[in-house]
Structure 1
């Protein structure tokens, strides 16, 4: 193991190399090394034509993978999510890179598959979605669709169809820790997540690749407790000590280090802020009524991650469920927004891939997820819409095996403005775009697959609730104060099945609110 500068690490990466990155949102990226790679390319034109492999999204909007999202520097990307990577999105949308989008959980497991020296990973996750080769094969732009590189194949094993996710090459992997000792042993004590760093390091070694670790501290050999060693020294080739942690090694986007997010400090529940009332909180208040005591629950990004946890905490429901996030966190109150993936007062922080083991194998009792488009068949799109290439993240891994799925979304977007008065909902200004469309732009959740497998699926909005049936979407509830025809049916691009037992949503959702002024959703 050799200590080197970030600039020296960048210089070791040859043209055409395949590099793997670990991280989650704005956390866990090797920003000092990534910036050095970008700077070297801009100065010399090298390294160029890199292939990049990553599981979760790798930025909070400014850092991580965004640093190397430069045309010519990257030629191919295989990943799960680019919702907070505007420059990377632009490269994908303009076909300046070859892009493949695969489920995040499958990609975390692919690291372990490669660590075992295997050619790929089998799973039913992704069948019927855009990842399925019978649909799009995960090819996320025209440049990928024109390529002969097929990242996923359908195979038939013991009477069932599976997807075969192919291993990818790794010449270098960039992983992050908190401290490294003189022998190369790495701890992650101050990191908010464990992620897939061990499997990623082992995968690189299995392919003859090199492991580059970025850390904050160097400590004496033998001073890291054996159980706290996340990566043993024999896996590490190069170590880079971040010279400016406040910029290049932040624990979370909001702080260089906050002990609440690494489990080193537990705060009283009353110290947690209460969410102000909004249309998103309104949706959350209806959605939590789907909870059952003792349920193992997953929260997705967006309204679920921002709202469900705080609403449940306010209502004293957190103790009645086991809350999990795909990043590996169990328990606590989610931070949400650009810090999705971490919680305050977590009970456990597992490695990334192990969390998905449970999701895939057992199927959580209930997941709350967002939705950008919903169609007459119950299909949901969150990955590509309006020309934007977002990606699926862990959405497919969670929703497909879950026993129950609750989608949380506003009915329309683009200027929607609502108000609550005397326990009734008023649509002050309708959004420009309906989320209920005839045929989603991309299938991220297959209504047909869910219906065939008897999944319980609920779609919650601020004004209406739908459930999935074998015949399609069924309207079961409407908010007090809204007009069925004007505010619901006329705003949809298709006619849903209206339940003969159509009910009014529980009025307590619309009472006891903090404010009744109009609330806008852009």
Structure 2
């Protein structure tokens, strides 16, 4: 039977050595008050300690002084297992200093491993991750030198087929953020941007005789409608009521509390960008890439568009009218709306449906998308992509590996080089004013996020769209298939590459 508690009381349920699973998505829907209470307790008691924290998509809030950053920095955590570390501003720096163990697994594979544990299974099989960094035959999931646990990901064969087997430690504590709890303890997510892995986390924790702690905005007298109660009260141990953080009016568009027709998506997107102080810059490079990449869209496509340069695809799809003829998706579970970026990444304007994250990755892993548009840090002569780890920095693989593993058409949107690249366009012709000092086409990528070998075996169409040309993946490597007007193929492309590519004028 659940109890209503203060955050400080609820955190006392956590013991040294517990494995905490946080339901959040990058920077959204974090149970901030629970994290703050855990830090207060740790500062006072130096307990709980030796914690493991699991999160499919990470649990930062883009702030080094809030959420979990403090107690992680002070030493309460021994091990982190996350799909993405981007919003965990100080934590990702400490990882590279070998302060504690840290493992990066594909977001969807963590989500499926949580669901497997909820069903009494030790782990989850997946073809996602084969021949990329997480494969133990390659690098394995450990990010730093102290991360040597080889039990999290194993290469196995079943009925003559090869898989990766993802196994998480037993989850004993759930930290969840919901909207409201009724008098039976049922938890709804009405004002939330997503429900993520909430139900599976709670089921796994209860199966492991652990404790489920839920932070909500309010208590309500009226019982929840059965289909709206994401977490049944019988799975909840502690409910903490915390004053909700104030949200700009623009963010109400992301809760699904009112209908937003297609014609208003752009207006609401601009309002959210203004509220988050994120405005699109006059980015000539991004515009050229986005315009060309958007031409790959077809009517009725089911689509995923990554953050960064790929976001320009949606701008040009809207201008052409194609955006109204495709279905966009986002990893957190949203389908049929317009994904937002920045600090609210994971939320959707005008979503038709938002379901559990594991179900979204069922769609992605089995080739349910028609096309995806992803960013890239590096590409090598074979067409392999590094999208998750740069020199001296990393954000994590996130949903990238799941999204690109089986999608029939994969379009990488990337500049030809970086750091100083200046490009102009006039009357349809492109001029390279200044080359960047950091090459993005390299002989060998530093770490593999996308395997060209797997893509060829799967029969996927793979394009690499830049501001000056387009390459296509072939069994022999990259083939230059388009050179934009104003670009000299030899001077601006072929002479700049550290390897040869196929090209026929």
TM over 0.5: yes
Further displaced range: 322-331 or 422-431: 422-431
Further displaced range: 205-214 or 53-62: 53-62
Task: Look up the match of 2:273.
Answer: none
SS of the residue 2:90 aligns to: helix
SS of the residue 2:254 aligns to: coil
Alpha-carbon distance in structure 2 between the residues aligned to 1:169 and 1:460 = 43
Task: Look up the match of 1:505.
Answer: none
Does residue 299 of structure 1 match 2:305? yes
Counterpart pick for 1:463 among 445, 460, 468: 468
Q: How does 1:85-100 map to 2 (within 5 A)?
A: 85-100=88-103
Alpha-carbon distance in structure 2 between the residues aligned to 1:155 and 1:211 = 33
Q: Quickly say closer, same or farther: Cα 1:295–1:52, change in 2 above 3 A.
A: same
Q: How does 1:420-499 map to 2 (within 5 A)?
A: 420-498=425-503
Does residue 214 of structure 1 match 2:215? yes
Counterpart pick for 1:265 among 254, 258, 263: 258
Cα distance, 1:494 vs. partner?
2.4
1:465-493 CA distance string (max 9 Å, x none): 11100110111112222222332233333
Counterpart pick for 2:110 among 107, 110, 115: 107
Alpha-carbon distance in structure 1 between the residues aligned to 2:186 and 2:11 = 22
Q: Quickly say closer, same or farther: Cα 1:86–1:493, change in 2 above 3 A.
A: farther
Does residue 51 of structure 1 match 2:21? no
Alpha-carbon distance in structure 2 between the residues aligned to 1:44 and 1:493 = 56
Alpha-carbon distance in structure 2 between the residues aligned to 1:116 and 1:367 = 31
Alpha-carbon distance in structure 2 between the residues aligned to 1:268 and 1:235 = 37
1:326-371 CA distance string (max 9 Å, x none): 1111122221223222221111112111111111124411111111
Q: Is the 8 A contact 2:13 2:211 kept in 1?
A: no
Cα distance, 1:269 vs. partner?
4.4
Task: Look up the match of 1:183.
Answer: 184
Q: Is the 8 A contact 2:472 2:479 kept in 1?
A: yes
Q: How many residues align?
A: 489
Task: Look up the match of 2:145.
Answer: 142
Q: Quickly say closer, same or farther: Cα 1:256–1:66, change in 2 above 3 A.
A: farther
> Scaled by the length of structure 1, what TM-score is found?
0.90
Q: How does 1:14-163 map to 2 (within 5 A)?
A: 14-62=15-63, 64-144=67-147, 147-163=148-164
Q: Is the 8 A contact 2:406 2:458 kept in 1?
A: no
Q: Is the 8 A contact 1:313 1:333 kept in 2?
A: no
Does residue 332 of structure 1 match 2:325? no
Alpha-carbon distance in structure 2 between the residues aligned to 1:197 and 1:191 = 12
Cα distance, 1:412 vs. partner?
1.4
Q: Quickly say closer, same or farther: Cα 1:167–1:270, change in 2 above 3 A.
A: closer
1:382-426 CA distance string (max 9 Å, x none): 111212122111111110111110011111111222222222122
5+ unaligned residues in a row in structure 2: which ranges? 271-279
Q: Is the 8 A contact 1:137 1:151 kept in 2?
A: no
Further displaced range: 15-24 or 426-435: 426-435
SS of the residue 1:290 aligns to: coil
Q: Quickly say closer, same or farther: Cα 1:268–1:380, change in 2 above 3 A.
A: same
> Scaled by the length of structure 2, what TM-score is found?
0.93
Alpha-carbon distance in structure 2 between the residues aligned to 1:7 and 1:256 = 31
Does residue 398 of structure 1 match 2:403? yes
SS of the residue 1:8 aligns to: helix
Cα distance, 1:60 vs. partner?
4.2
Q: Quickly say closer, same or farther: Cα 1:16–1:256, change in 2 above 3 A.
A: farther
Task: Look up the match of 1:517.
Answer: none
SS of the residue 1:86 aligns to: coil
Does residue 287 of structure 1 match 2:293? yes
SS of the residue 1:452 aligns to: helix
1:105-133 CA distance string (max 9 Å, x none): 11111111011111111111111111111
Q: Is the 8 A contact 1:296 1:321 kept in 2?
A: yes
Does residue 417 of structure 1 match 2:418? no
Cα distance, 1:256 vs. partner?
7.6
Further displaced range: 207-216 or 475-484: 475-484
1:286-306 CA distance string (max 9 Å, x none): 1111112211111223222x3
Alpha-carbon distance in structure 2 between the residues aligned to 1:148 and 1:438 = 30
Alpha-carbon distance in structure 2 between the residues aligned to 1:86 and 1:423 = 41
Q: Is the 8 A contact 1:121 1:167 kept in 2?
A: no
Alpha-carbon distance in structure 2 between the residues aligned to 1:148 and 1:111 = 18
5+ unaligned residues in a row in structure 1: which ranges? 502-522
Q: Give the CA RMSD over aligned residues.
A: 1.8
SS of the residue 1:25 aligns to: coil
Alpha-carbon distance in structure 1 between the residues aligned to 2:9 and 2:431 = 60
SS of the residue 1:265 aligns to: coil
Alpha-carbon distance in structure 2 between the residues aligned to 1:348 and 1:160 = 34
SS of the residue 1:440 aligns to: coil
Q: Is the 8 A contact 1:324 1:331 kept in 2?
A: yes
Task: Look up the match of 1:357.
Answer: 362
Alpha-carbon distance in structure 1 between the residues aligned to 2:293 and 2:360 = 23
